Structure 1
Amino acid sequence: MPRVSAEEIRSEIPETQGNADLVTRCLKICEQYRLSATDLQVQWDLLTMNKSAKRMSLEALADLETQCRNDDSAKRQKLDRKQQLTAKGPPKPGTFNKDTAHLLAGVGLDTTPAYRRSAAGISPVPGFALSPMGTEAAPGSAFASRAEVGKVVVSLNTWRTFASSAEQLEVEAVAPPRTAELAESRMWERLDERARLLDAQVVAFERALSGRDDVPPLSSVSTAGSEEATFVGRVCCEGEGRLNVQSLFLEGSRASSNGCRVRVDLKDCPEYALFPGQIVAVIGINIRHSIVATRVLTVLPPRDAQAAAAATAAAAAADGPAAGRSAVAIMSAAGPFTTTDDLTYAPFTALLQKAMEVRPDCLVLLGPFVDESHPAVAGGDVPVTYETLFCRQVLDPLKDWIESQLEAEATKIPHVVLLPSPKDAHLLGAYPQPPLEFPRNALPEHVRPYMHSLSNPATFRIGGLRVAAASVDTLFLLGQQELAKVPTPTDPSAPKPDRMARLASHVLQQRHLLPLFPTPLDERQPLPVDVTANLRAGGLPCLPEVLLVPSELAPFAKLGFGGVLCVNPGKLAKAAAGGNYALISVHPASEPEPAAAAEEMPAAGVEAAEALSARSTEADALLDSVLDSQGGAASSASVKVEDVKPSLTGAAAVEPFGTPPDAPREMMTRAFVEIKKI
């Protein structure tokens, strides 16, 4: 560019007139950084705006020179990056280099160059050549050299055995949600509809408590008084952050409290376990809009023994004559199903080989199947689509596994139940999720009766045994947000408080697989939740007998609320090493107990009511009646608690948020659980 003259400098920057030193310095800057007088004037204006420099001086020109130097350096770096990208050429889709080829070692990936494929008759789309049972781990990998294969890390009732049914059982979903319920509000959520559904949960609990004489009378959270009362609402935090005793608030319903919030004082409450979004009844005194709590109810107190007997009969009739007549064996594992150092899915192959040995009635697989956090997936180094990876590494091995048993003419064929995960890269990641859609012609007709794709979350029956499962880490989220005070028992022989059983019981008490609201925000592991769909389709249609809650927390098998067996099978793959899987067998209640049971389970002789099996469909019916009575967000204010009575259809109905009468302990003696290393 032409040299800049002194006259141009004085014309563009009037502050330099009459000062030869300033003009000389400006000329030097223009020459060094290839600037025109106009460019220098623009830089000076930027400096005066950013540095608040009002007068032209040699010190101000030093700052101006630094600014020009930084700007010139940034332009050079941008130009260098552009030249590097141009030299490399456009990226080649569907290829991999020497640094990423090892990720698919042993999978049989076709590495024929593209220009040779047409001549050789090979499809230009990279594919996998899988053996009938998948692929083995790459030699020398951490999974191939793993130790303690088959080691039992958690066990329950070892005097029992992993027994399965002698006949072919059937799998059926319990009250499966419609796909429209899971998709209609995604990215189009109406705030009034969400508020109506949230309010309906509180109103349902108020209805269930109305008319009971075993608790103090109901009162609005906004009404102060000197008498003890019962206040129903949703636990919420004053602001962002974790719940604590100083920031604990209770939000009442719009019908009784106009949606007001009031602070809760827990200093006189001996025991509690709370989290944001929990529906509770606080018993205490409301003094100046601050409830001094003496008790917190998360479930309704149990009713009398006659209700327990009626619930037993109703549960037996609801589950059908086949319920409890034979043992039911379940094998369960949660993703990820491959290690982080390759995509061979070796842990999944080892799981199918083990399933071939133990022959369960049902194999329950919880996603993610194509983990979005896998280094190859996150880095875009997979040479096929994620859907193809799922079909070739998950569906095809499962199809071959079932076909191998059909060809052997086995007396029974295990069912396979698959639940997706928000971490699946080939699916929409909003929870709750619709069932997996198998590609056309991916499964032959003779295999489809044994493959069951369910929504996330889902409740299903296998041989009359009710199982509920979800592939989100609800326990970890609850553990992060829970505010608990659990006194240590004074009796040394009494069992100590069990945190894992308490966290799992939150799910059962709230009748919801993800009861947190709002869902905590974690940038490291985000969990997008469709709140409206979660309120509609994320609940438990009935009280299950087995609850599968996969989590990053330590694996366990515990007896939770209502005598429900809660199992965390862990993860099948942990980084580059193997993880765990669970073997669960529930024996019929009519079987005589071995003598060894008295030693391992002292309470085994306690008679248990079949109220464990009592279905809580009344909870959904009551919630639906609340929604129907509200009709909309605006009309909900006209509903009054005292005008609404529980519409129970007799003593056999189990109330929402209610404790099953005389909750049985027989599941503790009927169930066999082993969680093993893969």
Structure 2
Amino acid sequence: MEEEIKAEFRKSGFDLDDEEEISKKCVPFCLNYNVKPSDLVSSWEVYYLNRQLNEPIVQNAEMDGFMLHLQNEQKDAVNKEKTDLHIYSTRDEEMILNNDDGDDTKDNIPGTPTDQHQDLYSHSYDMASLSSENVLSSKKPSKLLTPFAKRTDRFVVRFTIDTVPNVENGKEDGHENDEDDIVRKVKPSKRCSLVVRGSGPKPGCRFMYDRTEDRFNALDNRIRKYTRALVSSGLYEEPMDPTIASQKSVFTVGMICCDGEGRLNEKSIMLQSSFEHSGGQRVRLELQQLSHFSIFPGQVVGVEGNNPSGHCLIASKLVDSLPSSIVDDENLNPAKKLALDRENHPTNLSCAERELSMIIATGPFTTTDNLLFEPLAELLAYAKMRQPQLIILLGPFIDTEHPDIKTGTIDRSFNEIFHLEILRRLQDFVECMGSSRVILVPSIRDANHDFVVPQPAFDINLPDLTSQIASVPNPGILEANEVKIGFCAVDILKQLSGEEISRIAADGKPSDRMSRLANHILSQQSFYPLYPPAESVPLDFSLAPEALELSSIPDILILPSDIKHFIKVLSNEEGNRGKCLSVNPGRLAKGEGGGTFAEIDYHGAPDKINASILGI
């Protein structure tokens, strides 16, 4: 064997500097792990290339590392061959005990439930057939998977707000943690009107062409727009240049910046004014005199203070939101309004008629152990019972973070998975329901879509179901029964939470952090006010920058996030309720288990709702 090993090395073009020592190390390895000399030399070639060794000479000093590398490879190969263990829970034991078919030849592994509650699910979503036939199933043997639909604690209410008596809703009393509430039929709903506002990027657009000039102009336009709004309110004078030394108190408007690349802190705050007032220059901002504030990089604020030295603006007042006296211009660009159903669009709806039932869910829509999309199937089964007028699904649909997508162990393209596993299910759902409408919002985590913000809509071609299934840009605004709904699939709440710094007044009320973060979106009139953006966000200022603008306050603001789910009625600066309903539905799938989604019955105003967060 020693001679055979030497011959194989020479055959591959390698010389041995110490033949005896090298062969003594290689022979025991070949015998212990049953490796052929030719395979050993092939492994050395890969090792040689990876280590970028210069000379084609096998050095004895390299052999110890090479042997350790081979041993680790052998251990990994053995571990992969081992069958994955399944840890049984009490639910698995119950399913095994309930299996009374008396057939001892079958595996004692629970299959798809066949009790009376299985009527909830369409035959097209049969989990047993999916687990046994679907090539997108987990690497684990399908017989070891506990059926997702068998869990007994699905559709548990995690959080609820009820400000309207349920009698007015025409439904039974609230949600209960039992199956009777799930299968209870509701009255068929009327199809809602639907209008998409704004003009996001078009499918197939070119991106990654933004320049420094585009970024500067976009940021400067935000500052100038904020300045015009404050001055037009009549409460503030024309802004001055904050970089000029002055003993008098002045008013200025600018954007919060950090003086370096690190995280913002009270010692590193800079204020960048507009090009019109200061040529875009920056000045250090001192906030020691303020009892409370909440700021983040990219935030546009008004500042009252003085700059005695010309190097530091000492703030006495910080204006971080526009006055409520400013009327939102909702018809700024009427040409950009796209009506999906002009023939059925209602006009002059009163507040009492502005009613809408909806379900909101955010991806991932499948668990990490497979690509069967069982959480999506359960969500649609629940929607068949509740019959909402509108279902809003926000990506990711084909998640780039899914283990099978990351490792490339699937044998279908991303578009095939999207059309077969997502669109086909939705087609079956709307054909069955008739009155419900489905809106798809892409995410930058979608493997089958453009990686850019703002993001164009999915290019779906469903000519027969255009009025029922539609895709919209991310972010965007739509109106359903004249209820204005804003949405952004980027996790802006989590990113703001990591960059924001705040000071709470000692005698003030406890601050609700989630409400404060969501209020930043409204006060800045931008779906993504953070700048510089997070490293994971491909923000392109040359691509429809107006798509990021939130020109008016919506009735419902959907901000999906990895942060804990919530439904909150946001207050304006005077503390009045009923301004905007902010919703974070959570993720529909979390790891190998189910997540949460939101169900909302809207009755004319954000503070007149029945809303719940449900877990599956």
Global fold match (TM > 0.5): yes
Matched, 1:322 2:336: no
Written as runs of structure 1 = structure 2, the 5 A alignment for 1:293-332 is 293-303=315-325, 320-322=347-349, 324=351, 325-332=353-360
Q: How many Å separate the matches in 1 of 2:427 and 2:395?
A: 18
Which residue number corresponds to residue 169 of structure 1?
192
* 2:365 aligned residue (329, 337, 341): 337
Q: Which runs of 5+ in 1 are unaligned?
A: 1-27, 35-66, 89-95, 103-129, 407-412, 589-665
Greater strand share, 1 or 2?
2
Which residue number corresponds to residue 161 of structure 2?
156
Q: How many Å separate the matches in 2 of 1:366 and 1:298?
A: 30
Written as runs of structure 1 = structure 2, the 5 A alignment for 1:60-79 is 68-70=59-61
Shift of 1:347: 0.5
Check the 8 A contact 1:419/1:454 in 2, yes or no.
yes
Other structure's SS at 2:610 match: strand
Matched, 1:672 2:610: yes
Q: How many Å separate the matches in 2 of 1:284 and 1:320?
A: 48
Say which is worse superposed, 532-541 or 473-482, in terms of deviation: 532-541
Check the 8 A contact 2:476/2:486 in 1, yes or no.
yes
Q: Using a 3 Å threshold, how does the CA distance of structure 1 residues 73 and 354 change in structure 2: closer, same or farther?
A: same
* Structure 1 letter corresponding to 2:202: T
Written as runs of structure 1 = structure 2, the 5 A alignment for 1:462-541 is 462-487=480-505, 489=507, 496-521=510-535, 526-533=536-543, 535-541=545-551
Q: How many Å separate the matches in 2 of 1:152 and 1:160?
A: 18
Say which is worse superposed, 218-227 or 418-427, in terms of deviation: 218-227
Shift of 1:381: 1.1
Shift of 1:30: 7.2
Aligned pair count?
475
Q: Using a 3 Å threshold, how does the CA distance of structure 1 residues 488 and 151 change in structure 2: closer, same or farther?
A: farther
Other structure's SS at 2:550 match: coil
Check the 8 A contact 2:303/2:317 in 1, yes or no.
yes
* Structure 2 letter corresponding to 1:132: S
Matched, 1:459 2:477: yes
Shift of 1:487: 2.2
Shift of 1:134: 6.4
* 1:262 aligned residue (283, 286, 311): 283
Check the 8 A contact 2:18/2:59 in 1, yes or no.
no
Q: CA deviation digits over 1:106-130, x for unaligned, max 9?
A: xxxxxxxxxxxxxxxxxxxxxxxx9
Other structure's SS at 2:614 match: strand
Check the 8 A contact 1:157/1:671 in 2, yes or no.
yes
Shift of 1:676: 0.7
Written as runs of structure 1 = structure 2, the 5 A alignment for 1:52-451 is 68-70=59-61, 131-133=123-125, 135=127, 140-141=145-146, 143-144=148-149, 146-157=151-162, 159-161=164-166, 166-179=189-202, 183-184=205-206, 186-210=207-231, 213-215=234-236, 217-288=238-309, 289-303=311-325, 320-322=347-349, 324=351, 325-406=353-434, 413-438=435-460, 440=461, 443=462, 445-451=463-469
* Structure 2 letter corresponding to 1:239: G
* Structure 1 letter corresponding to 2:192: L
Other structure's SS at 1:497 match: coil
Other structure's SS at 1:263 match: strand
Q: Using a 3 Å threshold, how does the CA distance of structure 1 residues 577 and 30 change in structure 2: closer, same or farther?
A: closer
Q: CA deviation digits over 1:385-429, x for unaligned, max 9?
A: 1111111111001001111224xxxxxx11100001100111122
Other structure's SS at 1:533 match: coil
Matched, 1:551 2:550: no
Q: How many Å separate the matches in 1 of 2:330 and 2:226?
A: 23
Q: How many Å separate the matches in 2 of 1:323 and 1:381?
A: 54
Normalising by structure 2, we get a TM-score of: 0.70
Q: How many Å separate the matches in 1 of 2:265 and 2:258?
A: 8
* Structure 1 letter corresponding to 2:295: L
Q: CA deviation digits over 1:46-103, x for unaligned, max 9?
A: xxxxxxxxxxxxxxxxxxxxx954456678999x89x99xxx9xxxxxxx99989x9x
Shift of 1:508: 1.0
Q: How many Å separate the matches in 1 of 2:426 and 2:82?
A: 31
Other structure's SS at 2:612 match: strand
Check the 8 A contact 1:235/1:279 in 2, yes or no.
yes
Higher relative contact order (CA 8 A, sep 6+): 1
Check the 8 A contact 2:441/2:472 in 1, yes or no.
yes
Shift of 1:371: 0.7
Which residue number corresponds to residue 16 of structure 1?
none
Say which is worse superposed, 201-210 or 386-395, in terms of deviation: 201-210
Q: Which runs of 5+ in 2 are unaligned?
A: 1-15, 23-57, 87-121, 132-142, 171-186, 338-345, 573-578
Check the 8 A contact 2:149/2:378 in 1, yes or no.
no
Shift of 1:520: 2.4
Other structure's SS at 1:503 match: helix
Larger Rg: 1
Shift of 1:188: 1.6
Q: How many Å separate the matches in 1 of 2:331 and 2:425?
A: 43
Check the 8 A contact 1:469/1:548 in 2, yes or no.
yes
Q: How many Å separate the matches in 2 of 1:334 and 1:313?
A: 29
Shift of 1:285: 1.2
Q: Using a 3 Å threshold, how does the CA distance of structure 1 residues 135 and 426 change in structure 2: closer, same or farther?
A: farther
Q: Using a 3 Å threshold, how does the CA distance of structure 1 residues 513 and 211 change in structure 2: closer, same or farther?
A: closer
Other structure's SS at 2:467 match: helix
Which residue number corresponds to residue 584 of structure 1?
600
Check the 8 A contact 1:134/1:397 in 2, yes or no.
no
Shift of 1:209: 3.0
Q: Using a 3 Å threshold, how does the CA distance of structure 1 residues 322 and 155 change in structure 2: closer, same or farther?
A: same
Q: How many Å separate the matches in 1 of 2:82 and 2:541?
A: 44
Q: Using a 3 Å threshold, how does the CA distance of structure 1 residues 313 and 436 change in structure 2: closer, same or farther?
A: closer
Check the 8 A contact 2:209/2:542 in 1, yes or no.
no
Other structure's SS at 1:343 match: coil
Moved over 6 A (4+): 28-34, 72-78, 96-100, 310-314
Check the 8 A contact 1:135/1:345 in 2, yes or no.
no
Q: Using a 3 Å threshold, how does the CA distance of structure 1 residues 426 and 77 change in structure 2: closer, same or farther?
A: farther
Say which is worse superposed, 328-337 or 212-221, in terms of deviation: 212-221
